[in-house]
Structure 1
């Protein structure tokens, strides 16, 4: 029998406490997405402002190495933050570390907008420095948000709750586009300037320097809004019981938030802890969970190559769809920000945003395993079609936009959501945050491939290179489809049953009817659970 406090968490009815937890963790992800992707809306503006050559009759453009650095430093920081804070989350507690990540994001979002220097290289260097540390804070939010939500949720709605937290990434992406679009429209209204072709000097008006700084600094606002609530959150009952070994405190904390009476069971807790003392790097861990860790790391790595390629290269793809004027000399700098942001909002509203919430709605019906397989397969299919017929689609921009939007939809109604959910469910409590961090960091390694590799294919707009990039991304998605078979379905089961912490060793095998066979330790008996 499970501990009373854990059983209470698994069977608790959905109540205001769960909604509060979703909002607190979700606002973190809203901030993460805004801070990571808002740079795409202003990166072309940075090129116009700081790399304009008056001797050349064309708009300034970020050199490829600078463009990659601006995109990539935040991702490198994110990877480092995931590993550091994921490990600390298991060592020091979810709550303590969770607040630190928020402080880092708040400070560095403001500092990013205050990037200083008397020359272009100096400004870009300080911008990259602050975005690296911003990424560190963002990275810490990944494993901690997922782990906290999974440990608070009941087993019947756990997947939907974790997916809802992650879905705030979609809201952040949309909001980032809307903020840049609104601000650029306001600046255009009060500070009109000629097109570049009419007057190259005035088309990079000083107002643009205020615009990109404000866009970046506004990322501090949602972080500030959740300071108080993160401080008030109690430590998760599972951490307090299974890692700290304090059944009495866990029962008291969870009884207060769930508004029920829970009995402390210190003796039973001691038995459970004694049976689960193996470390992350032990042979026992790899025998039980090694396949799952390889599965979560590989699928997230392959997914993020495609997902971040899509997001970071939108500014280069949108003109090909007709959503942005393809001739930058017919726009001033602010107008280009407006059109780029508007195009990103169109893709986000009709592709990115709905996909997240389809996952929330269907994850407890279809399960994580099926959604991930479907998403990877459909992404691979649509990207292969785009790569194969790219030249023809340049003459049919509506079809191009539809297929491109569908790749975003199935990324989010698919592996971009489930790769976040599964690592928060598959692993034991004492290493859950670390395993999620390893999986997420693998994803950011894939994102770095996108930032420093795939962007090279799209920056100059060469159709042949874009075709090649799309075909390569189709292959990575198909590999993600294949590696998904290392994973298993988790819906409908408690975290302790999934991880084996309740005393059962298991070798779960996903099947069409989601039946999972578990083998009881000790006596040679088997039971089947229909999820």
Structure 2
């Protein structure tokens, strides 16, 4: 219902303004002090499954691109028995997803602030599932190669994955109590580690199942490898399908109802039902008033972020995410070539047995780094995020990563000289993954979800996340351009050194960010909450669906009603 249908009253003369302002603060206080409940577990699982899928789909390409190269790549005069993708083909497949991420993060981040978190949640998973299935079914024809088709589908998938970042972060932060907000958001984000591990495990299981068939192939025609990458990527549809219903039926956050829909009474009812009773209930006959609160528009956006105290937080959050993603995705999407450069896998197998072993070594190396570095890093962050704070963990992570990447770069030649020294390089690599996650990779996700007012929270998170993915794109382009300067994989040591420089810059950008632990979202937003409701815009009655408690409704009717409202 548009604001034109309401009878405006002057804010200063309306006696309900003071009462509603106080009620708004009580509602926010109830959210901030809510005890841990099953509803918080549900939020964690529903949002976390999306990040599990995101990580699975993004990082499965690390080995899938090698498989695709074995089947659809070209041979060369120097390696007539092995196929590989060209530089442009490999770059296109790896960059397509981060480019889509940028689009999705900006677009869905903005839409979630305009239309609501609930109305957008689940749509991004439908996009991811459709694009994942499309990749697995990709083929070639006279007008388009299979690599071109994969690039298109991975871009579309990237849009969906990008949308998941701001939506999951904001829903988690806006429902969480102050004392557990950091842990809840970290637990959601930690599902990425399990997705990464699952991608490596599924790849190994599928590869082992096809071992005899692959070894039976004649080089360079490894036709059975075509089954592998399609299965590895296609299985990413399953977690999406499991989570879609729960995302479509998740309630709107009370903070959005308060500060964007401007309906204090409905927000109070939602808090009572959702956080206390575990149900989502609308009173269809309720007469309500909309309140005067700051509203999102270009002028207000410029006013808020023209204040240096606010802009520096956005810049610090965005650049910190940019810096860590330079290294995180520079390593994460190039694991196959990194293992080859480090001597853990053959770059140009000459027999089908060599090809099988090369793929197996890549899978095993990915499992080791996930178990020894990625997953522990997330859960150590979970333990300390609300006691140490976000800012100290981010500073510590950037500092340690600076040292680790410097060692890996300047001592690279010695570290790859012998099998035992390669083990030391693998240890340093796992340690870098650990301190990425027990450090800026986790905190850069959390802080933008806390540091801005409700009307811009999702937009600002989308801007910060998109900045990170721009870093990932730059990392991919530069990695593929630089790694073979001076010979195959000769420049990899200098790439580690470049990563160290970016980690140093991340230390300085972190200094611009405030500590957000044990503070309410409204306090962090740097806006005075006393008198935030300056008036009312009259009373009206919105047409709503017939009253029906959520737990008593047929599940398919709920999904149909929700989709109808979206459309």
**TM-score normalised according to structure 2 size:** 0.83
Give distance in 2, aligned partners of 1:338 and 1:42.
Answer: 12
Task: Name the structure 2 match of 1:404.
Answer: 429
Matched, 1:236 2:253: yes
Task: Name the structure 1 match of 2:482.
Answer: 457
Q: Which has the larger displacement, 389-398 or 432-441? A: 389-398
Is the 8 Å Cα contact of residues 187 and 334 (structure 1) preserved in structure 2? no
Deviation at 1:280, TM superposition (A): 5.5
> Of the candidates 302, 316, 333, which is equivalent to residue 323 of structure 2?
302
Give distance in 1, aligned partners of 2:290 and 2:386.
Answer: 30
Task: Name the structure 1 match of 2:159.
Answer: 136
> Of the candidates 373, 390, 393, which is equivalent to residue 351 of structure 1?
373
Give distance in 1, aligned partners of 2:96 and 2:36.
Answer: 40
How many residues align structurally? 497
Task: Name the structure 1 match of 2:269.
Answer: 252
Change (3 A) 1:280 1:337: farther
- Residues 231-290 of structure 1: per-residue CA shift (max 9 Å, x gap): 22100010011110112221222211212699x9x999836x159988563233331411
- Structure 1 runs of 4+ aligned residues shifted over 6 Å read 266-269, 275-278
- Residues 30-52 of structure 1: per-residue CA shift (max 9 Å, x gap): 11111111011111111111123
- 5+ residue gaps, structure 1: 506-531
What secondary structure, in the 3-state scheme, does the structure 2 residue paired with 1:270 have? strand
Deviation at 1:94, TM superposition (A): 0.5
Matched, 1:313 2:334: yes
Deviation at 1:382, TM superposition (A): 0.4
Give distance in 1, aligned partners of 2:237 and 2:519.
Answer: 38
Q: Which has the higher contact order (CA 8 A, sep 6+)?
A: 2
- 5+ residue gaps, structure 2: 1-21, 532-567
Task: Name the structure 1 match of 2:457.
Answer: 432
Give distance in 2, aligned partners of 1:124 and 1:70.
Answer: 7
Give distance in 2, aligned partners of 1:279 and 1:7.
Answer: 29
Change (3 A) 1:276 1:200: closer
What secondary structure, in the 3-state scheme, does the structure 1 residue paired with 2:121 have? helix
Task: Name the structure 2 match of 1:516.
Answer: none
Matched, 1:498 2:520: no
Task: Name the structure 1 match of 2:9.
Answer: none
Give distance in 1, aligned partners of 2:472 and 2:108.
Answer: 19
Change (3 A) 1:102 1:420: same
Task: Name the structure 1 match of 2:560.
Answer: none
Is the 8 Å Cα contact of residues 279 and 285 (structure 1) preserved in structure 2? no
> Of the candidates 462, 480, 486, which is equivalent to residue 512 of structure 2?
486
Change (3 A) 1:474 1:268: farther
**TM-score normalised according to structure 1 size:** 0.88
Is the 8 Å Cα contact of residues 70 and 222 (structure 2) preserved in structure 1? no
Give distance in 2, aligned partners of 1:251 and 1:394.
Answer: 61
Matched, 1:336 2:362: no
Is the 8 Å Cα contact of residues 155 and 492 (structure 1) preserved in structure 2? yes
Task: Name the structure 2 match of 1:510.
Answer: none
CA RMSD of aligned residues (A): 2.5
Give distance in 1, aligned partners of 2:401 and 2:142.
Answer: 42
- Residues 433-452 of structure 1: per-residue CA shift (max 9 Å, x gap): 00000000000000001111
Task: Name the structure 2 match of 1:48.
Answer: 70
Counting only pairs closer than 5 Å after superposition, residues 179-198 of structure 1 correspond to structure 2 as 179-189=202-212, 192-193=215-216
Matched, 1:163 2:156: no
